[in-house]
Structures are given as structure tokens and as C-alpha cells.
Amino acid sequence: MPVDVHVTVTIDPGGLPVLPDPDPGPRWWQRVRIGYNLGLLALSTPLSGPWSWVLAHVRDEESLAGAWVMALIPLAVLAVLDNARRAEAAGANPDMWGPKWRAAITRLLLWAAITATVLTLPITTLVYLMTGVRTS
């Protein structure tokens, strides 16, 4: 009596199964909230005045390089803190206002530091470099 034999062959490519890449979502320039940032920029203007005065005083009395160092260190710290606060607010429960307020206040301080630095140091630096003026 004949016997029917059926063979199934499965070829396994080996390794772990590869998951498809997740949807990347909108690009960073599509996620920028222009009105929010312009509003915080406008609100930060009164805060940038005293910091600009401090930077100008250091620039005039001490050195231009010292003023740049004094401006860039807080900018770097605020930029890292801003990133952390935005991530905290994005991961928080939408009903919690604390993380949103902390993120907004940090962004406000970052805009104040940026505004003070931009209004105080780059033009003077450019003039010093073009004219050869040295501060003692």
C-alpha cells in the first residue's frame, strides 16, 4: 500500500525579527510653536535688561572674552534645562500644570539670556575685530 508523505520546508533567515521603523512624526520645524515662542520672547524683554547691563559692565570693565564666557555658560545651562523641562512636560499628565509652568519659565529665562547676549556682545565683538581695538 503506497504512503503519501508531505514535507514542509521553512527557511529561517536567522537573527532577531526586524520591526519596521516607527513613523517619525512631524519634523522639528513643523513642531515649533511660533506664537508661544514670540509671546515668551516679548515677556522676557524686561528680564533681559539687567542681564544685558551685567554683560556690558563686564565687557567694559574686565574683558570681552570674560563677558562672552559669562554669557555662554548660563546659556548652555538654560538650554539643557529647557530641553529637560520640555521632555518632562511632554511626558506628564495633560491635567498637570506644574511641568508646563516649569517648562514655560525655563524657556522665558532662556529667551531673556539669548536676548541680552545678542543685544550686548556680537556687535561690539565685530567692531573690536574689525578695528583692532583691545580692551585692557
Reported as type and span, the H/E element at residue 118 is helix 98-120
**Contact by Cβ (8 Å): 47, 107:** no
**Contact by Cβ (8 Å): 108, 47:** yes
When mean pLDDT is compared over 7-11, 55-59, 130-134, the highest value belongs to 55-59
**Model-level pTM?**
0.76
pLDDT tens profile 87-132: 999 999 999 999 999 999 999 999 999 999 999 999 888 888 888 8
- In sequence order, what are the residues at sequence separation of 6 or more whose Cβ sits closer than 8 angstroms to the Cβ of residue 37? 107, 111
Instruction: Give me the half-sphere count of Cα atoms (radius 13 Å) on the Cβ side of residue 5.
Output: 3
Angle among Cα 43, 28, 80 to the nearest 5 degrees reads 60
